[in-house]
Structure 1
Amino acid sequence: MSRLKDVARQANVSIATVSRVVNNAANIRDETRFRVQLAMKQLKYRPSRIAKRLRSKSSSGNLIGVMVPDISNPFYIDVLSGIEDYMYRQNFLIIICNFSQDEKKEQLYLDALVSESVDGLIVAPAHENDQKIISLIKENLPFVCIDRHLADTDADVVVVDNEQGAFNAVNFLLECGYNKIAYVSGLPRIPTSRQRENGYRMALENHKIPFRSELIKYGDSTHRSGIVLTEELLSQELIPDAIFTGNNLITLGALEAIAVRGLKIPDDIGLIGFDDMPWSNSLNPPLTAVKQPAYEIGRRAAELLYQRIIEPARPSVRIVLKTKLMIRKSTKSIPRKVKLN
């Protein structure tokens, strides 16, 4: 059975172009449309009926794709809620794909979504030089990036100020009297991981605390990496007196490793996580964390995508939302005056 990419190869066009021909889009040159239709006939290609079935149940017949790197991360669940709530009101259906931080899997899902003639995509790119996504944007497929940006690419994006959020967290730890603060990072190739490390370094520099490379551990943003890297920190010669974790899954792993050691928070070690979750306040002690407006990220991204679909030529928009440090009881003492920008 012929696939969309077979037609694209036969007609010497992109998959996105074939999808637009199948979807009877208006912005296709007659010569290109004819070449694609001829290839479809020669290859006996039949458009997917999945999208048609989905569209037949929608009053407007509109469909978008959403791709996230880790569906097990509660942050992305809230982002998806924001997207779904907004798009449902606009009579759009959503296909959700989880690529598990795997770029090959991401490319596979992108091809599948384009083959289903989605009207647009909301994606957290695998990294900032994601060529597959960049090529789709250049082909004028409506696109919005969330959580992570693309380098040197003119595209709509919704992110948070990761540097400032991390700076606020580490600055707070320093104001509390900690001076051997470790950072457990996610994947270094992800822009958010590097931005949070920049904030960590900026706070140390602000307090004239020397940077110690042995106090930074790089992982893969998972719960398991949080366990392993925290164990490494607690086993090395320079043991931290506080830990700043790069996301909520890493935080869970760090909590587990600290508990196995029999250490008490905050008496033996301080802890602040990036990402505030509903369970943060239910821990003993309640966890101080950097809160991201995840639902708002999703809602604003959906709004941008909808605007891009109805107005393809509008200028690109970059939205940077603020974080908030939720101060609870996972540090030894709370300073009377803490400057949080």
Structure 2
Amino acid sequence: MKPSIKDVAAASGLSLATVSRALADNGLVNEQTRQKVLAAAEALGYRPNLQARRLRSKQSQTIGLIVADIRNPFFTAVSRAIEDAAYREGIRVLLCNSDEDPAKEAMYLRLMQEEQVGGVIFSPTLSAAAAIAGTTFDFPLITIDRALGDADCVALNNHEALDKLVDHLVANGYRRIGGLFGNTSATGQARHDAYVSAMHRHGLTPDAHRLVPTMDAAQQLVGDRLDAGDAPEALIASNGLTLLGAMRAIRQRGLRIPDDIALAGIDNEAWTELVEPALTVIGQPTYDIGDTAMRMLMNRIHEPALSRRVVALSGELIVRDSTRPRTA
């Protein structure tokens, strides 16, 4: 078996990141450390693969990052983590915003090939996932938040997150629990399915709606239901933008949270704690998602033959007043 960069790290007694920087010769490690790494590599007979050499070359010290909506605070936080991790590796990040548009996704993927980036971190729509299934790229691809074929993926553990939200609401006396779920991504589908499973586990009837995962779409849908007298006892929104839209619709009609309708969601954005009442949410480990994605990409660049990895990180249930126990 050929020696890997991990073997070099073990032999030199240094971290994988330090070894990677030393081999990149980008000035981010001192000369003594670089020589130690080079000596270990020489002793093992380690030779970098083509993708790793390209990433370290003057031609391409860049990775691509294609996010669904940079206005979404989730993707803003994840992007920051990826940029921080890339900076530590001496790598630049080419950021693209797809607006959940498959045509823009395809254009940006072509751009990444033309730019000969070392790798891409991507949050694909369902349409993109179907369109590029089986496509071979010149770079390794890691997905965040959303799965794509055989690509490595890091995301929230959606099943666990929805279990926590539904279990919490049921424990507080809510039975008619509605849900809002995005219709453009595998994540929206996964959260929908997890919600349905959790409701059935409690012997309850699901009340799920799929929609474009934006504030305006959620505000319109929830408003229409409230106007029709069709409100559930509690409502779960599957991301921060739909949560904000639902809250706006409820407040516009002068309804009280949670007395008239309880409200909870995914994404612990700053405003969810500052509104009155503060909202119960699942806090996503956004920084860990971005940092993990970058580490997975570096591993994939150096070891293309690694088995596929799917990392599901746990979210934190943060209970606030918007889901107080029912009094009637």
Length-normalised TM-score, structure 2 = 0.78
SS in 2 for 1:295: helix
State how far apart, in whole Å, the 2-side matches of 1:59 and 1:78 are.
Answer: 29
State how far apart, in whole Å, the 1-side matches of 2:296 and 2:49 are.
Answer: 22
- 2:257 alignment partner in structure 1: 265
Amino acid at match of 2:204: I
State how far apart, in whole Å, the 1-side matches of 2:190 and 2:151 are.
Answer: 19
State how far apart, in whole Å, the 2-side matches of 1:237 and 1:253 are.
Answer: 18
- 2:198 alignment partner in structure 1: 203
State how far apart, in whole Å, the 1-side matches of 2:259 and 2:295 are.
Answer: 45
- 1:14 alignment partner in structure 2: none
Residues 1:146 and 2:144 are matched in the alignment? yes
SS in 2 for 1:91: coil
Q: Quick check: 196-205 or 165-174, which moved more?
A: 196-205
Shift of 1:132: 5.2
Q: Per-residue CA shift, 1:127-179, capped at 9, x if unaligned? A: 2762554455x3452110111112xx322111121122012102211111111
Of 190, 193, 199, the match for 2:188: 193
User: Is the CA contact (8 Å cut-off) linking 2:117 and 2:139 kept in structure 1?
Assistant: no
Shift of 1:299: 0.4
Please report the RMSD computed on the Cα atoms of aligned residues, expressed in angstroms: 2.5
State how far apart, in whole Å, the 2-side matches of 1:26 and 1:331 are.
Answer: 53
User: Is the CA contact (8 Å cut-off) linking 1:125 and 1:133 kept in structure 2?
Assistant: no
Quickly say closer, same or farther: Cα 1:26–1:243, change in 2 above 3 A. closer
State how far apart, in whole Å, the 2-side matches of 1:101 and 1:275 are.
Answer: 19
SS in 2 for 1:272: strand
- 1:158 alignment partner in structure 2: 154
- The 5-angstrom pairing of residues 63-102 of structure 1 reads 63-102=62-101
Q: Per-residue CA shift, 1:191-215, capped at 9, x if unaligned? A: 211221122222222221233xxx3
State how far apart, in whole Å, the 1-side matches of 2:303 and 2:49 are.
Answer: 14
- The 5-angstrom pairing of residues 22-101 of structure 1 reads 61-101=60-100
Runs of 4 or more consecutive aligned structure 1 residues displaced over 4 Å after TM superposition: 25-28, 58-61
Quickly say closer, same or farther: Cα 1:203–1:27, change in 2 above 3 A. closer
Q: Per-residue CA shift, 1:230-283, capped at 9, x if unaligned? A: 112212353211110111000111111011000111121100011111222111
Quickly say closer, same or farther: Cα 1:310–1:26, change in 2 above 3 A. closer
Quickly say closer, same or farther: Cα 1:270–1:287, change in 2 above 3 A. same
Quickly say closer, same or farther: Cα 1:26–1:75, change in 2 above 3 A. closer
SS in 2 for 1:95: strand
User: Is the CA contact (8 Å cut-off) linking 1:128 and 1:148 kept in structure 2?
Assistant: no
Q: Quick check: 168-177 or 195-204, which moved more?
A: 195-204
User: Is the CA contact (8 Å cut-off) linking 1:226 and 1:254 kept in structure 2?
Assistant: yes
SS in 2 for 1:309: helix
Of 276, 295, 301, the match for 1:303: 295
Of 306, 313, 319, the match for 1:314: 306
SS in 2 for 1:286: coil
SS in 1 for 2:165: helix
State how far apart, in whole Å, the 2-side matches of 1:132 and 1:306 are.
Answer: 26
Unaligned runs of 5+ in 1: 1-24, 29-54, 336-341
Shift of 1:324: 1.4
User: Is the CA contact (8 Å cut-off) linking 2:61 and 2:92 kept in structure 1?
Assistant: yes
User: Is the CA contact (8 Å cut-off) linking 1:184 and 1:229 kept in structure 2?
Assistant: no
SS in 1 for 2:126: coil
Q: Per-residue CA shift, 1:90-133, capped at 9, x if unaligned? A: 00000110110110111011111211111110001112762554
Amino acid at match of 2:86: M
Length-normalised TM-score, structure 1 = 0.75
Unaligned runs of 5+ in 2: 1-47
- 1:16 alignment partner in structure 2: none
Amino acid at match of 2:141: F
Quickly say closer, same or farther: Cα 1:318–1:128, change in 2 above 3 A. farther
Matched residue count: 277
- 1:291 alignment partner in structure 2: 283
SS in 2 for 1:185: strand
- 2:108 alignment partner in structure 1: 109
SS in 1 for 2:323: coil
